[in-house]
Amino acid sequence: MPPAPLPSFATRLIDWQRAHGRHGLPWQGTRDPYRVWLSEIMLQQTQVQTVLAYFPRFIQRFADVQALAAASADEVMQLWSGLGYYSRARNLHRAAGQVVAQFGGQFPTDTQALQSLPGIGRSTAHAIAAFCAGERVSIFDANVQRVVARYLAFEGDLAQAAHVRQLWALADGLLPAPDADLRQAMPAYTQGLMDLGATTCTPRRPQCPRCPVAQDCRALRTERVLSYPVKTRKLKRSSETWYWLVLADGPLHAPGTHMLLEKRPERGIWAGLHCFAVLPSQEALLARLAHCTEAAALAGWPGWAGGAGQAARPAPAVQWQNGFRHVLTHKDLLLIPALARLPHAGAQPRPALHAGAQAGGAPLRWVAVGDILGGAVATPAPLLAWLKAQQSAPAAQSPIKFE
DNA sequence: AAGTCGGGGGA
DNA sequence: TCCCCAGACTT
């Protein structure tokens, strides 16, 4: 009589997940592809702890894909504000519209249809199909790459796409057997892979004694766990200094003070968010300030514009603030706010500025400090952080000077 | 194949 | 500080 076969990688992983994996997260315990999709997108390059604050709010506002499709892009951006990688939010909204238009509002669960939606690549499509339909496909995010590379002692450099594809194919060999009950097995297997990478097979301090597949791990066998995955870094971060034109009509710690924000282009950094004008030099900032204040005078700014000839009034002085650093993956930004003040408009309506006040013709809005802090408009995280800091340490109030 | 997109957490 | 992370998209 032949000996019973040893439990497979997949079997051990599934058993471990049920006993020691993460349960009870808001996006778990469902096969609703809308919820799974939303969680997968939010969790791209973003930690669970962060997503926990956003996911319930999003679901509460958009209970299903129809509700999301019917929303304005601005509102979606607003709910996404602070999560980063804003193209995810834009694609999310576009994909919702596509599901309504092309799939009759029924969210697909097969990998082919999923990958036709914007923002869903191969790995995310596999995750949704595995969780919702039990499709026998491998997810392959950074956690899984680490687990599998260690388990197989994979020597290829994962900085190269060809090696990633190669390891991905090897990962397929670890999937639950095709004749298993995949509708039960695939969700637990997929979740188990992610949980193992997140809680046990961690980058720096893996807890191998608690790993369910340690007995077969080729990296552990040679005590080279930390040598995997092989991944060369070629991060060369460039530095830039940006000047922020902060045009306000009162002290920054007063909720009623309004500030001029412009909507950023749909591509590039902080795409689609509302932000202070960003200028590459002090000279450019002063020129923009002159444009804006001239435009404000022409538009009849309360207490300032006074008829013909007012357009020639010089721009108010600026107060240069201390710069602060904001680091992105590929760019190191030094942000220097320059505060300029228009006369207080009180409760009077602030006139819209013509598009010429902004070089690219981007939409300009006067927004109250209280509304910005309250999240009424989507703003980049560093802007919000800086404005919050101004609440507790208000800049010295100086009278408005005209030169 | 390389570059572009944020932000937060952990060592 | 530096490294890492539930990637997709553009060029």
Task: List protein-proximal bases of chain C (any atom < 7 A from a CB).
Answer: 3-9
Q: Could you tell me the end-to-end alpha-carbon distance of chain A, in angstroms, rounded to an integer?
A: 99
Topology given in CATH for the domain delimited by A238-392: Nucleoside Triphosphate Pyrophosphohydrolase (3.90.79)
Q: How far is the CA of A61 from the C1' of B7 (A)?
A: 23
* Domain residue limits, chain A: 9-227, 238-392
Whether the beta carbon of A142 falls within 7 A of nucleic chain C: the reply is: yes
Query: A14 versus A357: which is more confidently predicted?
Result: A14
Whether the beta carbon of A47 falls within 7 A of nucleic chain B: the reply is: yes
Q: How far is the CA of A164 from the C1' of B2 (A)?
A: 15
A40 is a catalytic site residue: yes
Q: How far is the CA of A161 from the C1' of C7 (A)?
A: 13
Topology given in CATH for the domain delimited by A9-227: Endonuclease III; domain 1 (1.10.340)
For the cut 90, the answer to whether the pLDDT of residue A174 exceeds it is: yes
Using CA atoms, how far residue A73 sits from A53, A91, A260, in Å, is 20, 10, 21
Whole-structure pTM value: 0.90
Give me the pLDDT at residue A13, please.
96
pLDDT tens-place string over residues A248-292: 999 999 999 999 999 998 888 999 999 999 999 999 999 999 989
What are the respective helix, strand and coil percentages of chain A, to the nearest 5? Answer: 45, 10, 45
Q: How far is the CA of A234 from the C1' of C9 (A)?
A: 20
Instruction: Quickly state the pLDDT bin for A400 (edges 50, 70, 90).
Output: very low
Strand C proximal residues, A:113-132, Cβ < 7 Å: 118-125
Mapping DSSP to helix (H, G, I), strand (E, B) and coil, where does residue A27 land? coil
Whether the beta carbon of A232 falls within 7 A of nucleic chain C: the reply is: no
Residue nearest to nucleotide B3 (CA to C1'): A330
Structure tokens at A365: 């809005």
Tell me if domain A9-227 and domain A238-392 are identical in fold.
Answer: no
What does pLDDT average to over chain A?
90
